[in-house]
């Protein structure tokens, strides 16, 4: 099975430099919004001369990669949730990346210990609470307490952003 390089939330064209040096094209599968990353990819092509072929997927990135197996043309996987890349790494689909640039730029807690993925941006998970609620010793895990049932407004419980927490 072909191994893929996984990048979560691409934010820098530097990430492509090592992988693209020996090829004139780079194939990316991504669940990122085209309007958010296409300018970055265009800039990379302009500065490196490496053509970027991008497949934008709303859903099903992992399923597609797994079904294509060794015949997949994807070189890089970009997703909005590192949990997807963790799952693919555990299934043996990804390969480690050794990059001094990435290792220096990205703190250890924002990358896979074995180099299978790098988180290049983060999203805040904000909790709003009524001003009279005592939060001095409150933590995220406390939201699982039955006393909060039907009192917390969030996305669907099975949404990837929630399950990743």
Residue 66: Cβ within 10 Å count: 15
Residue 90: Cβ within 10 Å count: 10
**Using an 8 Å Cβ cutoff, are 109 and 117 in contact?**
no
pLDDT (0 to 100) of residue 130: 82
pLDDT (0 to 100) of residue 1: 44
Whole-prediction pTM: 0.68
pLDDT (0 to 100) of residue 10: 38
What length is written for the chain? 165
Options 3.40.190.10, 3.10.450.50, 3.40.50.2000, 3.30.70.260; CATH of 5-119: 3.40.190.10
**Using an 8 Å Cβ cutoff, are 30 and 78 in contact?**
yes
pLDDT (0 to 100) of residue 165: 63
pLDDT (0 to 100) of residue 100: 93
- The domain spans of the chain are 5-119
pLDDT (0 to 100) of residue 20: 44
Residue 10: Cβ within 10 Å count: 22
Run means of pLDDT, 10 residues per run, the chain, 165 residues: 46 39 81 92 94 92 88 89 83 89 92 90 77 83 86 74 67
Which residues lie closer than 8 Å to 123 by C-beta, 6 or more apart? 161
Short-list 91, 92, 102, 88, CA closest to 29: 88
- Cα separation of 104 and 65, whole Å? 29
**Using an 8 Å Cβ cutoff, are 9 and 78 in contact?**
yes
- Cα separation of 83 and 76, whole Å? 16
Tokens linked to 102:
């990435």
pLDDT (0 to 100) of residue 160: 66
**Using an 8 Å Cβ cutoff, are 73 and 45 in contact?**
no
**Using an 8 Å Cβ cutoff, are 86 and 117 in contact?**
yes
- Cα separation of 134 and 122, whole Å? 28
């Amino acid at each position: 099975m072909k191994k893929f390089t996984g990048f979560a939330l691409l934010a820098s064209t530097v990430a492509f430099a090592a992988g693209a040096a020996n090829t004139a094209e780079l194939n990316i599968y991504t669940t990122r919004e085209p309007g958010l990353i296409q300018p970055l990819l265009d800039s990379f092509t302009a500065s490196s001369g490496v053509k970027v072929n991008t497949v934008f997927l709303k859903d099903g990135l992992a399923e597609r990669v797994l079904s294509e197996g060794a015949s997949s043309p994807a070189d890089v996987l970009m997703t909005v949730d590192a949990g997807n890349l963790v799952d693919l790494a555990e299934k043996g689909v990804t390969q480690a990346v050794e990059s001094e640039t990435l290792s220096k730029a990205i703190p250890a807690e924002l990358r896979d210990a074995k180099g299978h993925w790098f988180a290049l941006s983060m999203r805040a998970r904000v909790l709003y609470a009524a001003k009279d609620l005592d939060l001095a010793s409150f933590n995220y895990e406390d939201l699982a307490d039955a006393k909060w049932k039907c009192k917390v407004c969030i996305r669907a419980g099975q949404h990837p952003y929630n399950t990743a927490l």
